[in-house]
């Protein structure tokens, strides 16, 4: 009887540990997604800032180019964040 109780206690502890680690992985996955979104927004803002500087100089073509580069880099950062999020969810 004592052996059965010891095994049951160990099983309960292990299952509780798995549940807690799953919550930690989910939190980390959400954090990775948020970081990707934030980095994406920063890259877009950088592109927009460079575009405004070029517009002030009168270079409309270069301004559009900088704006497009910012959007592309922003999308890339968001994709990286999404991939890291999925990776964390997959490691559960």
Residue 36 has pLDDT above 70, yes or no: yes
Dihedral sign from CA coordinates of 43, 49, 53, 58 = positive
Mean pLDDT, to the nearest integer, of 28-57?
A: 91
pLDDT value at 8 more than 80: no
Nearest-angstrom CA–CA distance, 9 and 20: 17
pLDDT at 48: 93
What pLDDT band is residue 25 in, cutting at 50, 70 and 90?
confident
Q: Is the pLDDT of residue 10 over 80?
A: no
Q: 31 lies in which domain range?
A: 2-90
Q: Is the pLDDT of residue 2 over 90?
A: no
Q: What's the number of domains the chain is made of?
A: 1
């Amino acid at each position: 009887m004592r052996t059965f109780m010891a095994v049951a206690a160990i099983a309960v502890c292990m299952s509780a540990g798995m549940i807690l680690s799953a919550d930690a992985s989910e939190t980390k996955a959400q954090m990775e997604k948020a970081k990707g979104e934030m980095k994406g927004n920063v890259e877009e803002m950088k592109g927009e800032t460079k575009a405004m500087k070029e517009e002030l100089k009168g270079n409309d073509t270069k301004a559009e180019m900088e704006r497009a580069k910012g959007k592309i880099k922003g999308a890339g950062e968001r994709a990286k964040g999404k991939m890291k999020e999925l990776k964390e969810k997959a490691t559960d």
